[in-house]
A and B are shown apart, each in its own frame.
Chain A
Amino acid sequence: MTASKFMAIQQALQPDWFQCLSDGEASCEEATSIKRARKSVDRSLLFLDNCLRLQEESEVLRKSTIIGVIEGGDVMEERLRSARETAKRPVGGFLLDGFQGNPTTLETRLYLLSSVTAELPEDKPRLICGVSRPDEVLECIERGVDLFESFFPYQVTERGCALTFSFDYQPNPEETLSQQNGTQEEIKYADQTKKIKTTSCNQEITSFEINLKEKKYQEDFDPLVRGCSCYCCKNHTRAYIHHLLVTNELLAGVLLMMHNFEHYFGFFHSIREALRSDRLAQLKELIRRQAS
């Protein structure tokens, strides 16, 4: 894959935005050598400059926006260099690569993340890849990230689970209680939480979700989440989803995906509201209480 091959593909796809070709190998290793990190930054900048030049030469490509990729592994110096240099180029936004992993590794990189975003212009969007869990999302938002991938609801669906975590940070105890539909009790007393071990699709069930395959849902005629306005919750019950999962029916995934997306997008809606009304801390506390 060369810059010209890459740009030829973009020319065919005609995306609105596209992530520039970059060297992210520094992020795949446990411990990055400074040399390797430096190389990843140098190469990525070279790719970026080549792609920008090719973009100039193409009328079709000029309609798309290039997103610059910040590399540098775990080496602060290289990260800052990558950020500053990329920011000098006429990109439409920035993608922070190499922060994917499990929550513990993210924690150690949060300081790195703040430092990187501090170098980036305020008026351009910041994307991050590999981060999608509700608690991780909030940590990144606090440190200046704007866009996330939504593979988390997809993974939840694939394991036959439904998102039920609350994102209603408004202090109305009665409403909160009924909306959570007993989930709070489940989280407090049930032993559902497990440490995340891998970053693959086989991630363990989190405390943000319920496992519809469990026998206890066999006769549960409530919707997945009371008050949810998705197609699944408006039309079907936990008992029905349980049946579909047990009988390996295709519809299980269809209905769960509809719910999980709606729930997840609802979460982001509440994030935006919380930011507007300066209540992010409350939302963060609510999510933190529900995290494993």
Chain B
Amino acid sequence: MAAAVSPTSVESAPRIMKLVAECSRSRARAGELRLPHGPVATPVFMPVGTQATMKGITAEQLDALGCRICLGNTYHLGLRPGPELIQKAHGLHGFMNWPHNLLTDSGGFQMVSLVSLSEVTEEGVRFRSPYDGDESLLSPEKSVEIQNALGSDIIMQLDDVVSSTVTGPRVEEAMYRSIRWLDRCIAAHQRPDKQNLFAIIQGGLDEDLRATCLEEMTKRDVPGFAIGGLSGGESKGQFWRMVALSTSRLPKDKPRYLMGVGYATDLVVCVALGCDMFDCVFPTRTARFGSALVPTGNLQLKKKQYEKDFRPIDPECACPTCQKHSRAFLHALLHSDNTAALHHLTVHNIAYQLRLMSAVRASIVEKRFPDFVQDFMGTMYGDPTLCPAWATEALASLSHSVYLTGSREWEPLTPDSSKRIETPRE
């Protein structure tokens, strides 16, 4: 690997990823991240706890679910309660009393989500605070400074993020700027021995731009790489191609973090494409709308059909919610004025995501990942051949179209319309 090109000399970045198994028929890998607050098995799904809390779940509950790494957000925490206070509280770990690992996003995503309140220049991103109207500049240096104060185990570079629906010269500008900002982040990083700075590959949906970004960023000796700028409004066809391109050019011995991905199908396909880490607000957010994740899709528990359904959300699920409560009870709670159901569902949805990743990992280690994918798609869509076209394409690209059959007989990919299922089964 080429040496870092930034002006300040940087020590060789730690190798935090240990590969445990690789699938021979896809790019899937099982591994272990060695992080300051303990090991993390990969592939891993990281729940998002934006403001130093996991939406109503205690640290103890999250730990009991087996979570060993979750996310905090630099932009939000930088405003409230602010890095000085968190530093006084012994870092974000101390402040929220989380004993395991934390990953902080740089604040870059807020550039897209709060686009009306922000302005991007070479210097950084200028935000207008939604709380008091105050203006603040989030530069690469400032972002790293805040993240150094937060003390998270993995920190993200500040990248120039554009929505994946944007086209034209802005995308190229953002890609090159992200490289320059990466170098500035590396230079500003005060604690490379304690915190792992990840680069974020940009380039939008343009193959050439992505390729350029990959070539440049992989010259920098960082402990890990994220694939950014996706999971916005782009088509799934474009999405998977950019993911596949990225993983094909990223070093094998460093973790690949695909940002903003959390739907079950997406997770499984992107593991096949060679990604190791994922984060998404989806499971926790959808819980707060009364939606429970299950292997066949989701249950909208507010609906009348669950009024007298005394089964647990998922009889196979070992989470506290499924051990103790019925769909009927949760339905009743959802129609009451207290928030208890939201907590129960958040617990379950996190458990679902973690269990899925665990199962994926086991299948890779036990050399049966393709069969796992087959079963997963079958359960989710009624038949493996009924999974979305983009997923079929993505998987087929890996192993010449026999992929989906695993060890079974090849079936033609023309679904029988009488078997087509419109909504996920329950």
User: B-contacting residues of A (Cβ < 8 Å)?
Assistant: 218-219, 221, 231, 235-237, 239-240, 243-244, 246-247, 249-251, 253-255
Contact = CB atoms under 8 A, between A and B. Distances in A.
Contact of B343 (A235, A240, A254): A254
B58 interface: yes
B93 to A, nearest CB: 12
B337 to A, nearest CB: 12
Contacts of B85: 218-219, 239
Contact of B52 (A231, A243, A253): A243
Interface of B: 51-60, 76, 80-81, 85, 88-89, 95-97, 339, 342-343
Contacts of B339: 250, 253
B81 A249 contact: no
A260 to B, nearest CB: 16
B96 A240 contact: yes
B225 to A, nearest CB: 31
Contacts of B80: 243, 246-247
A240 B81 CA distance: 9
Give the most central of B53, B55, B57, B97: most A CB within 10 Å.
B53
A242 to B, nearest CB: 8
Nearest to A255: B58
Contacts of B51: 243-244, 247, 249
Given A243-B80, A243-B81, A251 B89 contact: no
Contact of B95 (A240, A247, A249, A251): A240
Question: What 10 A-B pairs are tightest by C-beta distance, nearest first?
Answer: A250-B56, A251-B53, A247-B51, A243-B81, A249-B53, A235-B97, A251-B56, A247-B80, A250-B55, A249-B51
Contact of B89 (A239, A247, A249): A239
Contacts, number: 56
Contacts of A253: 339
A254 B81 contact: no
A231 B60 contact: yes
B88 A221 contact: yes
B58 A221 contact: no
The A interface is mostly helix, strand or loop, or mixed, namely helix
A235 B89 CA distance: 13
A250 B342 CA distance: 10
A238 to B, nearest CB: 11
Contact of B58 (A218, A231, A239, A247): A231
10 contacts: A218-B81, A235-B58, A235-B97, A237-B89, A239-B85, A243-B52, A243-B80, A246-B81, A249-B53, A251-B56
A249 B55 contact: yes
Contacts of B54: 251
A284 B52 CA distance: 41
Given A221-B89, A235-B60, A240-B96, A251 B55 contact: yes
Nearest to A243: B81
B180 to A, nearest CB: 33
Given A218-B81, A235-B60, A244 B89 contact: no
Contacts of A218: 81, 85
B58 A251 contact: yes
A141 to B, nearest CB: 30
A254 B56 contact: yes
Contacts of A236: 97
A134 B97 CA distance: 32
Contacts of A239: 81, 85, 89, 95
Contacts of B96: 240
B94 to A, nearest CB: 9
A235 B55 contact: no
